Amino acid sequence: MNPLRVEPDSTGRRTFLKASAALGAGLTLAIFDVDADAQATKAANAGAEFAPNAFLRIASDNSVTVIVKHVELGQGTYTGLPMLVADELDAAWSQVRVEGAPADAKRYANLFWGGSQGTGGSTAMANSFEQYRQAGAAARAMLVGAAAERWKVAPQSIAVKNGIVSSGGKKATFGELAAAAAKQAVPASPALKDAKDFVYIGKGAPRTDSKAKSAGTATYTQDVKLPEMLTAVVAHPPRFGAKVKHFDASAVEKVPGVRYVVQIPSGIAVVATNFWTAKSARDQLKVEWNDDTGFKYSSTDIMAEFKRLAAKPGTIARNDGDAAAAIDKAARKLEAAYEFPYLAHAAMEPMNCVVRLDADRCEVWNGEQAQTGDQAAIAAAVSLKPEQVFIHQLFAGGSFGRRGNPQSDYVVEAASIAKEIGKRGVPVKLVWTREDDMRAGYYRPAYYHVLRAGLDAQGNVAGWQHRIVGQSILTGTAFESMLVKNGVDATSVEGAASLPYAIADLQVDLHTAQIGVPVQWWRSVGHTHTAYSTETFVDELAAAAAKDPVEFRRTLLANKSKHLSVLELAAAKAGWGQPLAAGKPGDKRARGIAVHESFNTAVAQVVEVTVRADNTFRVDRVVCAVNCGLAVNPDNVRAQMEGGIGYGLSAALYGAITIKDGGAAQSNFHDYRVLRINEMPPVDVHIVPSTDKPTGVGEPGVPPIAPAVANALAAATGKRLRVLPLSLST
């Protein structure tokens, strides 16, 4: 066998062909995985395919391919939506295949997003629940119709089970009936199953992507390789909003493998035959930045401005009764102010995007979270029509919101490079380094909260005032008209304006600050900060009233059955009220609880902490209860709670982007510390049984963890932490 040869300039087609020949079929498959597989499947299916609607195809080889309209970024949608189809279709799980939908809002809109295609707000299951079941039910009815004709029996005599259609002694697979079923009329509103007949829904199915993701064969944007493809790395300004003043490409243009050095609106792109060449050249590039338009402030300036704003009343987001008067009259008054830093999403796969631009079309390969918005933005950047932008869906290596960027930042950057090099039909892969990703902005905004409340002589809450100061996420985005009303961005106050506690006199107001740091939704959005301030403050009120934190909440939630269901379950499973095992001598141990609803899902978490003599602490255990309506895939609900707790704990313990001189001070995982396995507590998840429509689970596990930890720390030490990330030593 010939050895593999690695030569300079050796990406691209020639090496690919050589490597294929040398390595044999097993490895070549991995290279063009998504494209080649999908195309091969399509080719094999051509002519013998039964595609009753946009959501599934049944091929003569008996495969059922479910076309999933949402991106798989870890939340399990490539398993959950196929389960809906498979259940109504009575397919065998082993025959189910998954394909990511193309960008096509006419067929694949998010039904909660008014005609726009995209993934977010924990909506994938909730908006698709009936749509995907109907798709499966329609196909089943047509298979039954085809079998009835073929066998000359009444449709009522036909059973479908585990992928087999049968009547009396006659049997057929879906594949055998596919061609005939395709000729049946598509039923407009096929009957859906009764819940008692579900075979997958509520019971579960293995993830469709676990095998590929355990073998290194799942294809992410980072892994796309196309003939003649070039790789681009971009020099961005250190300050947000700064522009290129001057650059000198003479040294790097001579580097072997560097093909283009071009200016684009967001910086200077170095385009080369492979990543290392592009990155090394980018690092040597001399760029002078024009800071006139650049952001000039630091986190301390921003927080000072927020505090200044907080001194005055803001725009009312909720006003029940007369909160100020009630607090004035109260026997006791409490006030607390909270500071929240900017947070980076820091998905494992830094942002990246592949673009191939031709005269009349632009093809995009991306873990694509916001198809419709990105189509429009790319089209505008390259002077095409949105329908001329074709997006190939890939796995996303995490997102936590970042890949659905409100300004389509990184996909437009990739398209701008393809346009600027002017080389039609040559694919360009934009790769951000970890540092580029960390410093690119679009953070969870920083916030400042002030909470005031009164307690009457009996320890009941008498008045609640909540003031929030921060940047608006939605202003200037496609969601503005829907979710910014009377100057209040719903995502700035969600979880605060929707406070579930029965308090007659309650006011929430908002100051929206204009700050030049790009901000964006971050897993659970406004709830990331409102759950913290409300749930730690309510805990503080309970302590001031000398009442048990669970009992105190239970009284205030008497009419909130969803909240109560998780509060009671979490408390019971955690052994709330029973003594905790003692720690080592000098250690203090305590429990804390928080309950919060987000995206129509209620979650309560009980945390056990150990605080050591040196004021360091450890989260020992988390008990989580979730009410998400019908839990379609219970094990995935558990996985999302586990992951949400870990993601939230990472931010609670370490998360902070500090702005210094107009840019991010952090750059990589050494200074933007994230949770590691040795810091991950055991998590017990308990699901409240429910027959209500399913609600989201991707985000709601995040909000309660930080306040639950803070409440446990307060129980252990008496210290109320009001600055994130959490530290007992400052």
> Which positions from 682 through 721 interact with another protein, judged by CB under 8 A?
682-683
- CB of 191: closest distance to another protein in angstroms? 32
Out of 156, 214, 578, 729, which residue is the one contacting another protein (CB under 8 A)?
214
Pattern 161-200, another protein, x by CB under 8 A: ----------------------------------------
CA distance 288 to 246: 5
> Which positions from 617 through 636 interact with another protein, judged by CB under 8 A?
635-636
User: How big is the CA angle at 79 (ends 701 and 139), to the nearest 5 degrees?
Assistant: 135
Paired sense of beta strands 230-235 and 428-431, if any: parallel
213 or 588, CB closer to another protein? 213
Residue the block writes with tokens 């490597």: 19
> Which positions from 21 through 40 interact with another protein, judged by CB under 8 A?
22-23, 27, 30-31
- CB of 98: closest distance to another protein in angstroms? 14
Out of 142, 645, 651, 726, which residue is the one contacting another protein (CB under 8 A)?
645
Pattern 398-427, another protein, x by CB under 8 A: xxx---------------------------
Out of 97, 150, 193, 213, which residue is the one contacting another protein (CB under 8 A)?
213
Q: What distance lies between CA 509 and its chain's CA centroid?
A: 28
Which is nearest to 361 in space by CA: 348, 349, 375?
Answer: 375
> Which positions from 283 through 322 interact with another protein, judged by CB under 8 A?
none
CA distance 80 to 58: 19
Q: Does 220 bind another protein (CB under 8 A)?
A: yes
Instruction: Pick the stretch among 12-20, 113-121, 172-180, 191-199 that binds another protein (CB under 8 A).
Output: 12-20
Which is nearest to 529 in space by CA: 606, 466, 601?
Answer: 466
Spell out the SS3 assignment of 447-467: EEEEEEEEECCCCCEEEEEEE
Out of 60, 75, 471, 534, which residue is the one contacting another protein (CB under 8 A)?
75
10 or 690, CB closer to another protein? 10
Which residues partner with 509 through β-bridges?
A: 316, 467
- CB of 457: closest distance to another protein in angstroms? 45
> Which positions from 520 through 559 interact with another protein, judged by CB under 8 A?
none
- CB of 64: closest distance to another protein in angstroms? 20
- CB of 698: closest distance to another protein in angstroms? 10
Sorted by sequence, the CB contacts under 8 Å of residue 691 that are 6+ apart come out as 195, 629, 630
> Which positions from 93 through 152 interact with another protein, judged by CB under 8 A?
none
Instruction: Retrieve residue 457's tokens.
Output: 């002589």
> Which positions from 655 through 684 interact with another protein, judged by CB under 8 A?
668-670, 674-678, 680, 682-683
- CB of 444: closest distance to another protein in angstroms? 14
CA distance 526 to 519: 12
Q: What distance lies between CA 569 and its chain's CA centroid?
A: 27
Instruction: Retrieve residue 416's tokens.
Output: 């701008």
35 or 635, CB closer to another protein? 635
CB-based burial of residue 587 (10 Å sphere; 0-12 exposed, 13-18 middle, 19+ buried)? middle
Instruction: Pick the stretch among 181-189, 271-279, 298-306, 317-325 that binds another protein (CB under 8 A).
Output: 271-279
> Which positions from 233 through 262 interact with another protein, judged by CB under 8 A?
256
310 or 709, CB closer to another protein? 709
383 or 678, CB closer to another protein? 678
Cβ-contact 126, 693 below 8 angstroms: yes
How many residues sit close enough to another protein to count as binding (CB under 8 A)? 84
CA distance 80 to 698: 12
- CB of 321: closest distance to another protein in angstroms? 41
Cβ-contact 527, 596 below 8 angstroms: yes
Which is nearest to 107 in space by CA: 372, 369, 411, 367?
Answer: 372
440 or 483, CB closer to another protein? 440
Query: Which helix H or strand E contains 288, and what residues bound it?
Result: strand 286-290
282 or 452, CB closer to another protein? 282
Query: Which helix H or strand E contains 245, and what residues bound it?
Result: strand 243-248
- CB of 645: closest distance to another protein in angstroms? 7
Cβ-contact 139, 52 below 8 angstroms: yes
11 or 695, CB closer to another protein? 11
Out of 119, 231, 405, 512, which residue is the one contacting another protein (CB under 8 A)?
231
- CB of 252: closest distance to another protein in angstroms? 14
Count of other CB atoms within 10 angstroms of residue 719: 12
Beta-strand ranges (E) seen in 407-523 are 428-431, 447-455, 461-470, 484-485, 488-489, 506-512
> Which positions from 442 through 461 interact with another protein, judged by CB under 8 A?
none
566 or 697, CB closer to another protein? 697
CB-based burial of residue 247 (10 Å sphere; 0-12 exposed, 13-18 middle, 19+ buried)? middle
Out of 115, 168, 206, 422, which residue is the one contacting another protein (CB under 8 A)?
206
Q: Does 374 bind another protein (CB under 8 A)?
A: no
CA distance 573 to 465: 33
8 or 47, CB closer to another protein? 8
Instruction: Pick the stretch among 61-69, 175-183, 395-403, 606-614 that binds another protein (CB under 8 A).
Output: 395-403
Q: Does 222 bind another protein (CB under 8 A)?
A: yes
CA distance 116 to 696: 19
Out of 252, 488, 631, 639, which residue is the one contacting another protein (CB under 8 A)?
639
Cβ-contact 354, 364 below 8 angstroms: yes
Instruction: Retrieve residue 440's tokens.
Output: 């690119």
Instruction: Pick the stretch among 149-157, 282-290, 348-356, 598-606 that binds another protein (CB under 8 A).
Output: 348-356
Instruction: Pick the stretch among 116-124, 221-229, 307-315, 491-499 that binds another protein (CB under 8 A).
Output: 221-229
> Taking the alpha carbons of 469, 475, 480, 481 in that order, is the dihedral positive or negative?
positive
